[in-house]
Amino acid sequence: MRLRLAWLLWIGMAGCGESGGVGGTYVTRDSAGIRIVEVDVPAAPAQRWVVSPSPVVEFGLKAPANAVLYFVRGAVRLSNEEVVIANGGAHQLHWYDASGELLRTVGREGAGPGEFGQLNWIARHGADSVLVLGGRARRLSVFDPGGTFVRSVPVAARGDYWGTFADGSPLLGQDRYGGEGFVRQDVVLWKLSVADGSADSLGTYGGDEQIIGRDGNMFFILSAPFGRQGVFAVSGARYLVADQEQYEISEYTSDGGLARLFRIRQTPATVTSVDIDRFREGSIAAYEGSDLEAWQRRLDEQPYPDVFPTHGAMMVDKLGQLWLQAFPKPWDELVEWWVFDPEGRPIGTVTLPTAFEAYEIGEDYLLGKWADSLDVEHVGMYGLSKP
């Protein structure tokens, strides 16, 4: 079954320096060598871009049984418009042409060259090579544009993939767990060398808010309701850090030096009793354990924040524009994204389904994954047109 999505992208140009107008106020200044950008999110952008209501291309529709997509770990688009998908369920990389036809499958489960114990993430490397991290063996593997295995190196760090620097080095974020009760975990950011697998630490930042404890002999870790998370992205030779506590994004050079602060003049939304009740009802309805009464008690006793996180995820597209997601509540089906140009000027808003996970945003496309009502995974490309 194909999921149809109706998306509208609204774009409104902002002023530069310090100004007002359709795009809101945009202010820049320097403080001790650090550039500070402050903006107002535009309330009524003027120009409309349109995202196709259904995929321009969907991958895997005609794949054989041994190449069905499940546990997809990412996808990249090459310069010749081929798309490579990391299919974690089959321990394979799949190459597709621009029309969605399967060209080749590469890899299998195993510990040898070109094999994967598991697939963690995929990234484009250099002109058109592909970089993959295999989890159990902690091994970074490179494949050429035709899918031929080139080499692999053991890596000194592992973690979530947040993007690739201009020099080809991946940015990884490794969670560090600890504590008890209501805690915010740490995330260590690593700049990973593709040449030898070595990792340079870029510092420790705020990670996920969690509730950690024991229930009898059982040890549990729960995501905090409406909890804050560490959010990261890469833009050229710099990386971006946001902690969701305030509308501020810190931009660092690739050696960890603070270069710019990006602030949005917004106030976090208040968490109401209606929000808490709706969260509890949804958690109870989704509970699949054996002791519903204990689960209800835990939901009643756990702390709830006074305000929501300031925002959700963030991405940098192929044009260097920042896409920042409004915080998606657990029951939201659609969520707004704000778009800013490389200088920080607000240029529009985008409404996307919360079920869609974007892997890559180009000048005229969005590549990503979603699941249908039967939890079947789909990977496709949607067109982005500008009037």
Angle between helix 292-301 and 273-286 (nearest 10): 160
Note whether 140 and 192 are within 8 A (CB): yes
Domain containing 115: what range? Answer: 55-154
Task: Let me know whether 47 and 70 are in one domain.
Answer: no
Task: Let me know whether 69 and 11 are in one domain.
Answer: no
Distance of CA 322 to the CA centre of its chain: 12
Task: Let me know whether 21 and 81 are in one domain.
Answer: no
SS3 state at 383: strand
* pLDDT for res 17: 46
* pLDDT for res 281: 95
Q: 68 — alpha (psi -120 to 50), left (phi > 0) or beta?
A: beta
Task: Let me know whether 61 and 141 are in one domain.
Answer: yes
Quote the number of domains for the chain. 2
Please name which of 39, 47, 46 lies closest in space to residue 20, comparing C-alpha atoms: 39
Please give the angle made by the CA atoms of 169, 171 and 173, to the nearest 5 degrees.
155
Task: Let me know whether 46 and 68 are in one domain.
Answer: no
* pLDDT for res 136: 67
Task: Let me know whether 44 and 111 are in one domain.
Answer: no
Instruction: Give percent above pLDDT 90 in the chain.
Output: 60
For residue 154, give every residue at least 6 positions away whose Cβ sits within 8 Å of its Cβ, in sequence order, or none. 137, 138, 139, 140, 197
Domain harbouring 64, CATH code: 2.40.10
Provide the 10 A C-beta neighbour count for residue 1: 8
* pLDDT for res 13: 33
Task: Let me know whether 112 and 84 are in one domain.
Answer: yes
Task: Let me know whether 318 and 370 are in one domain.
Answer: yes
Express each pLDDT in 291-306 by its tens digit.
Answer: 899 889 889 988 999 9
Task: Let me know whether 150 and 64 are in one domain.
Answer: yes
Please name which of 187, 224, 220 lies closest in space to residue 203, comparing C-alpha atoms: 187
Task: Let me know whether 324 and 364 are in one domain.
Answer: yes
Task: Let me know whether 48 and 70 are in one domain.
Answer: no
Q: Tell me whether residue 169 is in a domain.
A: no
